[in-house]
Amino acid sequence: MSNIAVQRIKREFKEVAKSEEGAKCEIRVELVNDSFTELRGEIAGPPDTPYEGGKYHLEIKVPETYPFNPPKVRFITKIWHPNISSVTGAICLDILKDQWAAAMTLRTVLLSIQALLSSAEPDDPQDAVVARQYKENYDVFLKTARFWCSCYAGAPKQASNGFEEKIKWLTDMGANEQVAIRTLSSSSWNIEKATEELFS
């Protein structure tokens, strides 16, 4: 790894820790190995979103050519969001691609991802299924995103929408729980549709 990359990551570490957002535990980074090539990020779900109360872990891979090329970031924590793959955690965000600028830092990247959670762009989706639900059935989208947040990101459980019962019904039939949640979410919690997709 180039000297400038290591130097920068070290500085950016301090920057995140000292930042206002870092002090409020809204963003965090930690090392995964000693070589500074892989980091673990954490962002808090922003208030007034279905992600509120959740803690989201991110995989951050620092390329050899950092900061001239962007870090590779993906969600480890599962999330239901039009611009984030519900399967792989891949993020569709311009600053992580062609809008990257060398003056951006881990702090600005984490804050941009946090901002993406507050303002989805369903017309430029990463996950087409989620994006369609967002546009066609926003209420179900909100409930599903909220459910995933309590399921995977540690947010407190909310009033049941009958989701648990539907999941149990499918797992009793032999489906894997994660697969059941994904299939039900994708079919907007239509149990017939989900059953058909899983067992036919």
**Footprint on this chain of other proteins (rule: CB under 8 A):** 4, 7-8, 11-12, 65, 67-69, 98, 101-105
Calpha distance 146→83 (Å, rounded): 16
In the complex with other proteins, the residue whose CB is nearer, 4 or 173, is 4
Peptide bond between residue 125 and the one before it cis (omega within 30 degrees of 0): no
Are the beta carbons of 148 and 170 closer than 8 angstroms?
Answer: no
In the complex with other proteins, the residue whose CB is nearer, 15 or 197, is 15
Residue 70: CB minimum distance to other proteins, A: 11
Spell out the residues 6+ positions from residue 200 whose beta carbon is closer than 8 angstroms to its own. none
In the complex with other proteins, the residue whose CB is nearer, 12 or 127, is 12
Residue 104: CB minimum distance to other proteins, A: 8
Residue 67: CB minimum distance to other proteins, A: 6
Report DSSP state, residue 56: E
173-182 long-range contacts, Cβ below 8 Å, gap at least 24?
173/198, 173/199, 175/199, 181/147, 181/148, 181/151, 182/86, 182/87
Calpha distance 68→87 (Å, rounded): 29
Q: Which of 25, 92, 149, 151 is catalytic?
A: 92
149 catalytic? Reply is: no
Residue 98: CB minimum distance to other proteins, A: 7
In the complex with other proteins, the residue whose CB is nearer, 98 or 139, is 98
**Residues with catalytic function:** 92
